[in-house]
Amino acid sequence: MTTVGLIRHGITEWNLLGKAQGISDIPLNETGRVQADKLGERLAGEEPWDLIIASDLCRATETAEIIGSKIGLSLHHTDETIREVNCGEAEGMTEEERLEKWGKEWRTRALGMEKHEDVAGRGVRFLEDVVQKHEGKRVLVVSHGALIGLTLKRLMPDTFQQTNMENTSITVLHHHEDRWDCSLYNCARHLI
C-alpha cells in the first residue's frame, strides 16, 4: 500500500487579501511559517514519512522545507505538475476587482484561466506517477488548495463532491490494488 499525505501550503499575504495566487510565486507570511512549523511538530509525533515532494512555487517549497526540518527529511524534489491553477488575467485580483472589471459572469470569459478538468487531470497523473515510482512508501506532497481539491473530486467523485482545503491541512490517501481510499480529510487540528 502506498500512502500519500496531501498538504496545502501555509498562508500568504495574498490568501489574507483574497487575491487569486495561481502560479504567481508568492511567499509564506510569518503566520504561514508558524502553521508549517506546527504541522511539522505534529507529524514528528506520528508514523514516519519516507519522502516529501512539493510544488515548485515558493509557498509550497518553503512549507515542505519547514515540515521536513521537523521530521528529519529533506525535500526530495519539486514538481511543477502540482502547481496551483493558472488564473490567467484574474491572477493577483480579488473577487471584488474581478466583478468590477468583468461583471458577475467573469468566470465564463476567456481570461487565459486553466480549465479545472486539466488541473484535476494533472493532479491524478502526478499521483499515479507517485504510486509507480514510490510504491509501498509514505509520501508527503505539499501543493495548493484548488489542485488538491480538484484532484480529490476526480479520484473519488462519490466521496468528494465539494472540497475546501485549509492552509497546512493534511489529507491522507491510501492506494492499494488500484483503489484510492481517504482516511483523513482537510485536517488542521495542529492549528487549534
- In the annotated binding site, the residues are 8-15, 59
Backbone angles phi, psi at 109, to 5 degrees: -85, 155
Cβ–Cβ < 8 Å for 186, 171: yes
All three cell numbers of 98, joined, read 474581478
Taken in order 132, 121, 152, 88, is the CA torsion positive or negative? positive
- Residues known to be catalytic: 9, 84
All three cell numbers of 83, joined, read 502547481
Instruction: Please state the residue numbers annotated as binding site for substrate.
Output: 8-15, 59
Helix (H, G, I), strand (E, B) or coil at 136: coil
All three cell numbers of 91, joined, read 491572477
Helix (H, G, I), strand (E, B) or coil at 92: coil
Closest-CA residue to 6 (of 187, 134, 160): 187
Cβ–Cβ < 8 Å for 72, 140: no
Helix (H, G, I), strand (E, B) or coil at 4: strand
